[in-house]
Chain A
Amino acid sequence: MTIIDYMRQKLTEYPKIAEFMGGEEVHIDFTEPEPTNYGLSSNGDSLLKEDLLGNQLRQHNFVMYAVGQSITDYTRLANSNFLLNLSYWLERLPEEEGIEADTGNEVLKGRFIKASCANAMAMQPMGDTISNGVLYQLQIYAQYKVESEDIF
């Protein structure tokens, strides 16, 4: 699976996400306008460094959009706390094998290293009034290694 598949799976596995999502899947690159929905948007992959053997440390940037209930202060506070707890959980994900990078010529093995989060915030109301829900965002930076082809 790619790093996008991997992070989507991890978000789905977040123990508290079911409370929020009601069993729905995490969307990719869009989110439904109704509360409560999540979408994971991928916005770029970059090479951080490469070692002498050709192994690469890469970073993939995501923005997770979430439409949450927003009628009362209580629900808005719950949404913010949800994003805060999700950030803590993501930043404690262990290193893990299982990522692949398809270069066109070959499929290279990869390893998830760590995730960090930033800018968890309310973006905009989903309608004319705040009672239609609020769009939240959480930026996620996932670092992973791609192993080079073995020369020997």
Chain B
Amino acid sequence: MAKIKRQFMANLVNSALPGDTPVWNRLGKDLEEYIVEMNANVETKNNILGETSVTLDSYQPQASVEPYYAEIGDPLFDRLQEIVDDRQTLDELETETLEVHLWEETTDGVYVAYKEDAIVEVVSYGGDTTGYQIPFNLHNTGNRVKGTYDTKTKKFTVAA
């Protein structure tokens, strides 16, 4: 059994404004790690018989993208810079995340993928002399749907 290389779990974020046609940007450049923390809500109870019951009723997944180096012409940079410049809040921060399983090819260049709504939170901006940085967090908010991602057309299609 071969291990799956990390780059085959592709993480993308939609850099288009809410309501516009999605523009999927792959995350990972300059990132040594990208971890989706599941933040499960777990409740543990012990009864007088010494038994333990565990209830896991929800997740609050979130991930941190740090560092993110701004590059002119990158649509994700344009979106993040708008958030910074306009001090955007609430619905203006809505986006979508996409996880593409590059080890699960359905047809040529089309892979199993999961899309989920999210909120983008710019953590800070500036950085050191290595370049202008805008690290950000992605907070998934649910509405997770399964589908496929076409790497040629760069479009996500919800599974029938």
Q: Which residues of A contact B (CB under 8 A)?
A: 49-55, 148, 151-152
Contacts and interface: CB of A to CB of B under 8 A. Distances in A.
Interface string B40-72: 000000000000000000000000000000000
B143 interface: no
Interface in B3-43: 6-8, 10-11, 26-34
Contacts of B30: 51, 55
A152 B108 CA distance: 12
Contact of A52 (B6, B102, B151): B6
B13 to A, nearest CB: 13
A59 to B, nearest CB: 15
Given A148-B7, A151-B7, A50 B29 contact: no
Given A49-B32, A52-B28, 10 more contacts: A50-B32, A51-B30, A51-B31, A52-B7, A52-B11, A52-B29, A53-B28, A53-B29, A148-B7, A152-B10
Interface residues of B, number: 17
Contacts of A55: 29-30
Interface string B84-117: 0000000000000000001000000100000000
A106 B158 CA distance: 36
Contacts, number: 35
Contacts of B11: 52
B10 A151 contact: yes
Given A52-B6, A52-B34, A53-B7, A151 B29 contact: no
A152 B151 contact: yes
A55 B34 CA distance: 15
B153 to A, nearest CB: 11
21 contacts: A49-B32, A51-B28, A51-B30, A51-B31, A51-B32, A52-B6, A52-B27, A52-B32, A52-B33, A53-B7, A53-B26, A53-B28, A54-B7, A55-B30, A148-B7, A151-B7, A151-B8, A151-B10, A151-B151, A152-B26, A152-B151
Contacts of B8: 151
A147 to B, nearest CB: 10
B74 to A, nearest CB: 14
